């Protein structure tokens, strides 16, 4: 599945380099137009990141989010600074099909486990951003990649899998925004080890060959942001590759 993605700050479509707010590039003032275009080309799922909410949950762009969902027939999964059950509930109430949960899933797994039980595995996506060291150890980063946790991806999955975890968005941080291809071996390894999970690959997509590679990796979906914004290819072409 192809899942086009938009990151928003102040209602504008932006990209941050390696998660750095100081290195921001603005692509559009009209996220709805982009979502409409993605839908017209066949996208049935869209990914939205509220970077204002990620930085400070009090600044969540809830009105913008509600308007996008109201005017978009495709399913939308939304993340960015989800830290409390109230955050989860407000996004689901706004019409989000799934809520994407990142740092708090690493910092407070028992809390997030209660949300998984309460809302069910189809409503929750864990976003695990991975740093891989020279020895191949896969540690999960938090706080917009500014901090490295001591949790491995395996130790986190051991907590959530017994509760029915189904959707995980996994990013190799070193690949994000580079347009130089995804970490195919990572998704091959994860999909073989955890076939019960629907893996969403993220980071590094730069051309159609990259999409074909992910399609054969065992991942069930790929998140595409910058490549679409910079017209490397369009959604329709990406779907044909998948």
Q: What is the pLDDT of residues 147-180, one digit of tens each?
A: 454 577 888 899 999 999 999 999 887 666 667 7
172 is catalytic: no
129 is catalytic: yes
Tokens of 11: 């209602």
Residue 91 pLDDT > 70: yes
- We find that the CATH architecture of domain 2-241 is Alpha-Beta Barrel (3.20)
Containing 101, the helix (H) or strand (E) segment is strand 98-101
At 14 the three-state DSSP class reads strand
Nearest to 83 by CA among 91, 94, 73, 75: 91
Per domain, the residue ranges of the chain are: 2-241
Tokens of 229: 């914004």
Distance of alpha carbon 8 from alpha carbon 12, whole angstroms: 5
Residue of 52, 129, 176, 210 marked active site: 129
pTM over 0.85: yes
Q: What is the pLDDT of residues 94-120, one digit of tens each?
A: 999 999 999 899 889 999 999 999 999
């Amino acid at each position: 599945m192809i899942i086009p993605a938009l990151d928003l700050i102040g209602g504008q479509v932006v990209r941050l380099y390696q998660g750095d707010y100081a290195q921001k590039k603005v692509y559009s003032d009209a996220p709805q137009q982009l979502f409409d275009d993605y839908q017209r080309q066949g996208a049935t799922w869209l990914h939205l990141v509220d970077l204002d909410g990620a930085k400070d949950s009090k600044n969540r762009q809830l009105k913008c989010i509600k308007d996008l969902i109201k005017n978009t027939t495709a399913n939308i999964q939304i993340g960015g600074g989800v830290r409390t059950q109230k955050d989860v509930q407000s996004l689901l109430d706004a019409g989000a099909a799934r809520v994407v949960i990142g740092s708090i899933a690493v910092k407070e797994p028992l809390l997030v486990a209660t949300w998984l039980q309460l809302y069910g595995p189809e409503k929750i996506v864990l976003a695990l951003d991975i740093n891989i060291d020279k020895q191949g150890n896969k540690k999960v980063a938090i706080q917009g990649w500014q901090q490295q946790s001591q949790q491995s991806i395996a130790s986190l999955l051991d907590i959530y899998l017994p509760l029915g975890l189904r959707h995980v968005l996994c990013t190799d941080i070193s690949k994000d925004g580079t347009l130089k291809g995804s970490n195919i071996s990572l998704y091959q390894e994860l999909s073989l080890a955890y076939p019960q999970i629907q893996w969403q690959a993220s980071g590094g997509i730069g051309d159609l060959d990259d999409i074909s590679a992910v399609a054969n990796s065992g991942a069930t979906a790929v998140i595409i942001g910058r490549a679409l914004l910079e017209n490397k290819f369009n959604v329709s072409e990406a779907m044909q590759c998948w």
